[in-house]
């Protein structure tokens, strides 16, 4: 029996100029150092997410890029949900990277671009408006603490274009590793 090795890669890339829930897929996106995804509503040095702007509009933007693992969509399909890349607001859909297990500060090299992981994305109430019951599926309550499964957020350390099919190289930060927290 031959076993296939999964090379970590980009499945889809998405962006939206306006603040809306889903983002259309693109052929490629450009990441801009210190800012985020060119042409995306969350581009900026300071926080751009509407909820966080109301709390502190001068806070640094730790949510420049949103990444979700395609394996989550596979899991959701088994539970009867039909979720496709970009539909829950991510910029980059990956396969073969255990995003939720990465420590804070891990770096993802995708071509010339480098994204530093800053934390977990919190699922919001809009998720149940998109598909009723989906919010509960994005929170794992099986352990001692609830774990958010709706992807990770990051900042752009080095800019560049990324596209579906691009390989992803993971670089872990020095020990001791800090687990991801909500940002």
Question: Is 146 contained in some domain?
Answer: yes
- Is 50 a residue whose pLDDT tops 80? no
Q: In this model, does residue 159 exceed pLDDT 60?
A: yes
Q: Is the predicted pLDDT of residue 71 greater than 90, yes or no?
A: yes
68: closest CA among 57, 84, 52?
84
Cα angle for residues 125, 126, 130 (degrees, 5° grid) = 125
Distance CA 86, CA 11 (A): 10
State residue 169's pLDDT score. Answer: 98
Supply the pLDDT for residue 6: 79
What is the pLDDT confidence band of residue 21, given thresholds at 50, 70 and 90?
Answer: confident
First to last CA, the chain: 43
24/151 Cα distance (integer angstroms): 17
The single-letter DSSP state of residue 179 is B
pLDDT value at residue 53: 79
Does residue 180 lie in a domain region?
no
Can you give the residue range of the structural domain that contains 49?
9-171
- Report the domain count for the chain: 1
155 occurs within a structural domain: yes
Which pLDDT score, from 0 to 100, does residue 16 have? 96
Ranking 39-43, 59-63, 69-73, 122-126 by mean pLDDT, the lowest is 122-126
Higher pLDDT, 14 or 148: 14
Q: What is the pLDDT of residue 4?
A: 64
The percentage of residues in the chain with a pLDDT greater than 70, rounded to a whole number, is 97
Q: Is residue 38 part of a domain?
A: yes
Asked, for residue 75, whether it belongs to a domain, the answer is yes
- Which two tokens mark 75? 């899991």
CATH of the domain at 84: 2.40.33.20
With respect to residue 28, please indicate whether it lies within any of the assigned structural domains.
yes
**Predicted TM-score (pTM) above 0.85:** yes
């Amino acid at each position: 029996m031959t076993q296939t090795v999964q090379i970590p890669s980009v499945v889809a890339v998405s962006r939206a100029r306006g603040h809306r829930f889903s983002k259309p897929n693109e052929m490629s996106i450009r990441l801009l150092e210190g800012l985020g995804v060119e042409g995306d509503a969350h581009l900026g040095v300071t926080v751009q997410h509407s909820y966080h702007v109301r709390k502190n509009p001068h806070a640094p933007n730790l949510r420049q890029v949103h990444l979700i693992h395609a394996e989550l969509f596979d899991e959701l399909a088994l539970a009867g949900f039909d979720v496709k890349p970009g539909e829950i607001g991510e910029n980059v859909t990956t396969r073969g990277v255990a995003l939720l297990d990465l420590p804070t500060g891990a770096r993802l090299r995708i071509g010339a671009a480098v994204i530093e992981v800053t934390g977990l994305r919190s699922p919001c109430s809009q998720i149940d408006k998109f598909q009723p019951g989906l919010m509960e599926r994005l929170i794992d309550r099986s352990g001692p603490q609830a774990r958010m499964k709706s992807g990770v957020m990051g900042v752009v350390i080095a800019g560049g274009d990324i596209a579906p099919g691009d390989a992803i190289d993971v670089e872990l930060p020095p020990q001791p590793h800090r687990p991801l927290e909500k940002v």
